[in-house]
Chain A
Amino acid sequence: MVKAGFRQTMAWLHGWTGLVVGWLLFAIFLTGTISYYRFEISDWMLRPPVTAEIVDPATAAARVLDWLAVEAAGAPQWVVTLPGDREAWMRASWRKPAERRAQSVLIDPATGNRLVATDSRGGDFFYRFHFELWMQPIWGRWIVGAAAMIMLVAIISGVITHKKIFRDFFTFRPAKAARSWLDAHNALAVLALPYHVMITYTGLLTLMFLYLPAGSAGYRFDTNKMFADMSDIPTRPAATEAAALAPIGPMLAAVPWPVRRIDVQRPGRADSTVILYAAQTGMLSVNPGNAIFDATTGALLRAPLPSSVAGAIWGVSYGLHLGRFADGVMRFLFFVVGLAGSAMVATGLLLWTAKRAPGRGRWLAHRLNIAAIVGLPLAVGAFFWANRLLPADLTDRANWEIRLFFAAWALTLLIPRWRPALWLTAAAFAGLVVVDGMPGAFNLGLGLVALCFAGAAWKVRQ
C-alpha cells in the first residue's frame, strides 16, 4: 500500500469529520448566530408591554425585590436581572423547594408589576438549542461538545489541507460547479478564520467543567462546592430566624460598577446574603466583578476581588463567545461572521455532494442538505409564524411554538429540490413582515432574510 502524504491524510480527515457532524454543526452554528439577537427576538415574540420610562437602577431593584418578597417568599434563592441596553424589562427567577422547575417572570421597572407577555420562549429557544439541542440538557451538551471538538479537528485539518491560503486569499470563481463551492468554502473559512477558531475553542471552554471533570476531582466531582470556593463566597453561620432585607440602594451605591444581576441567597432569613454582579459594559469578561453583602444589615462581606489569571482567561473566553459586550455595530459584525461560519459548513456539505457520483449516498446527502441548510431557516420562519398565529390563551402555548418549529423542520425532509425550499423560506419571512406590519429594525431584518432567500432561489434557477 502506498503511504499517503500528510496533506492527503488531513484532507481525508477533514472530509469525513465534516460530513459526519456537518448537518448538526450547521444547526449549532446557525442557532448560535441567531442567538446574538436573543433579546431582540424575545422582545419581538414576547411583546412585553413595558412602560417607556427610564428608572434609576436602585428604584427598579427595590421594586423587583419587593415583588419577590410577596410572590416568592420561602424560595432558597432569588435571581434578578436589571434592565440593560437591550432589555427594557427586569427578570426575576426563583425555585421553590417543592417545585421541579424554576420560575421566571418579567417585571416592569417603572411600576414593579409583573409584565404579562406572550407565552413564548422567544430568543431563549435558539440560545438553549445552540448548546442543548432541546434535548435532556446533559445529553445535548455532550453531543454539542463532541461536535465542537470535531469542528476544531476539521478547522485544523482544513487549514493544513488548504494548499494555497495566501495565493487563493481573494479567489472566488462563480458558476463553475464544485470549483465554486470549494472557492466559497475556502473564502468563508479563511477570511473569518480568527472567528471560527475563537468561537469553536471558547465554545468548548464554556462547558469545560462538564467535558474535563478531572479539574474537580479534588472535590470528589462536587462542582457546586468547587464553584463556591472559586467565587470565594464567605460561609456564614446558619441562622433561620426571619429578618427583613436591608435597602438595596446603598448596596448598589457601594460598588464601583453598574450592576446587572442581583442574587439573594436564603431571602428572608437572618443569614441571607446579597451578591451583586457587575454589568459587562465595555468589558470582554463575562464576570468582570462581584461583591457580597449581608442582606439584613447591608454591610459589605466581601469586596470585589481582583480576578485571578485563570479566572480572567475563562471569563474573557466566555465573554468572547457570548459577545454581550458588543454594541450594535459590533453585534452585527459578530452576526455576519457567524453567518459566514454557518455558510462555511453549508458549502462544505454542498461540496461533498457535488463531488460524489450519483447514488444512494449522494441522494441522502442531498436531501439532508436541503433539510439542514434551508429547512432550518424555514423552521425558524414557522416558529415566528406560530408566535403570531397561535391563540394567546392556548395552554402550553410556548411549547406549541417549539413543536411547530420541529414539525416544520421535519417536513422539510420531504422537499426534494432547492428551489421550492428557498422560495418557501423567502415567502415565510416576507409574509411575516407583511402580517406584522410594524416598522422597525427587526422587521427590516426579516425582510432582508426574505430578500436573500429569494435571491438564492432566483440564482438556483439559472
Chain B
Amino acid sequence: MIALGALLALAAWLALDRAMTARQHQLTLRILGAAALAAAFAVSVVAWGWRLGPVGWLGLLSATALARVFAKPYLR
C-alpha cells in the first residue's frame, strides 16, 4: 500500500516536472500530476489512518521529490 503511495507521488512529480518544459499538453500534465498527488494522499490515509496519514503523505512527497531531482541529471 505504501509502495503504491510512493509510486503515485513519484508519478506526480514526473508529470509536474514534464509540464514545466512541455510544449503542449501542459494543462493535462498538471491535472494528472495534481490528481496523482491527491491519490497518494488517499493511499496514505488508507495505509496509516487519518491521524498519521497526512504526516506520512508529506514524507512520501519529500522523499520521492528528492529522489527525482537528484537522480534526474544521471538518468539521461
- Residue positions of A touching B, CB distance < 8 A: 167, 169-174, 184, 187-188, 191-192, 194-195, 282-284, 320, 325-327, 329-330, 333-334, 336-337, 340
Contacts and interface: CB of A to CB of B under 8 A. Distances in A.
B35 interface: no
A118 B2 CA distance: 37
Contacts of B72: 170, 172
A336 B13 contact: no
Nearest to B71: A172
B51 A195 contact: no
Nearest to B18: A170
Given A192-B66, A195-B62, A340-B62, A174 B52 contact: no
B27 interface: no
B69 A320 contact: no
B65 interface: yes
Given A284-B51, A320-B55, A325-B52, A174 B62 contact: no
Given A170-B20, A172-B69, A188-B66, A282 B51 contact: yes
Contacts of A191: 62, 65-66, 69
A330 B44 CA distance: 11
A257 to B, nearest CB: 14
B56 A333 contact: yes
Contacts of A334: 59
A283 B62 contact: no
A192 B16 CA distance: 17
Contacts of B62: 191-192, 194-195, 333, 336-337, 340
B22 interface: no
Interface SS majority for chain B:
helix
Interface in B14-71: 16-17, 20, 48-49, 51-52, 55-56, 58-60, 62-63, 65-66, 68-70
Given A170-B20, A187-B69, A325-B52, 4 more contacts: A195-B59, A283-B51, A333-B56, A340-B62
B58 A195 contact: yes
B50 to A, nearest CB: 10
Contacts, number: 71
Nearest to B52: A325
A320 to B, nearest CB: 7
Contacts of B20: 167, 169-170
Contacts of B63: 333, 336-337
A330 B13 contact: no
Given A170-B20, A172-B72, A283-B51, A330 B66 contact: no
A327 B69 CA distance: 26
Contacts of A337: 59, 62-63, 66
Given A330-B56, A333-B56, A187 B70 contact: yes
A174 B69 CA distance: 11
A336 B51 contact: no
Contacts of B17: 169-170
Contacts of B68: 170
